[in-house]
Amino acid sequence: MKEHAFFLSLGFTADQTELINEAKYFIPVFEQIEEQAYQYNEQTDPQVIKQFNMQVYQATTYIWAYKRKVLGLILSCKIVSNNMPLLVDHTSREAYYFAKRLQELNEGKLIPLPEAIIKENVFFLKIMADHSKFIGHLMDPSERKLVDQAREFSNDFDQLLFQAQDLDHMRPQSETPSLLDQFLDQNRVSVVALRDFKKTARDLIEACRIKSNIPALLADHVYREADHFLHIIDAFEDHLTSLK
């Protein structure tokens, strides 16, 4: 959320000072939350964690509302900025996901059900597809090979997303560990490939070896999200294994 605020602040034009300041307001808010999170561990009183989750939830709903406001201004042509509508919507979906997850944790919803496994993958497959589109769009057109690779990943994840949505519509017949195992395995192969592509792109950007409008922090941000998706797939597969 902190990095989203920073990225959005970079995308406004110089005269959009109010929106820039609003975005920058969230940076120290989430920075303080991040520092606070490091103070807790497995021995921390669950009630303290629950209160902390609510604090983070409130901050996240505020930045979600800000992102939706910005998206509305762009779509109604009230402002023109370098923040693409899909990017703003993308970051707002992540804020909504984060807030909802905090609520679920406070309600004790920890075990992934088959329905949750499919829906979680639908969410992250869409995120990966969006990332591929952003990377292709923000690369300099002369980086033809990298642009083509990004477009291929975009098409791949669009197809995986459609497939996941089909599986979601087939429930409850699809709620079998074997089918879900196959579903997760297929997703893993593509996510690993995209994660490695993002890592290479990040390293090249940091070394100033490719031409793009992608800040190094953004390149690292999308790499970390792909790596996080793989951790989620691991957790789901461990859960399915425990059911066998």
pLDDT confidence tier of residue 110, bands split at 50, 70 and 90: confident
Tell me which residue of 68, 120, 116 sits closest to 91, measured CA to CA. Answer: 68
User: Exposed, middle or buried, 73 (CB in 10 Å: 0-12/13-18/19+)?
Assistant: middle
pLDDT for res 242? 80
Tell me which residue of 137, 132, 138 sits closest to 197, measured CA to CA. Answer: 132
Residues of the chain with CATH 1.20.1260.120: 1-110, 112-244
Which pair of structure tokens corresponds to residue 202? 């990040």
pLDDT for res 172? 53
pLDDT for res 240? 83
**Mean per-residue pLDDT of the chain:** 94
How far apart CA 121 and CA 209 sit, in angstroms, is 33
* Ranges 23-32, 112-121, 159-168, 225-234: which has the least confidence: 112-121
Alpha helices (H) in 38-113, listed in sequence order:
46-75, 85-106
Residue 109 reports pLDDT greater than 90: no
pTM: 0.94
For residue 212, the cross-strand partners are 139
Task: Name the CATH superfamily housing domain 1-110.
Answer: Protein of unknown function DUF2935 (1.20.1260.120)
pLDDT for res 112? 61
Mean local confidence (pLDDT), 146-156: 98
Q: Which fold has domain 112-244?
A: Ferritin (1.20.1260)
Which pair of structure tokens corresponds to residue 73? 């201004």
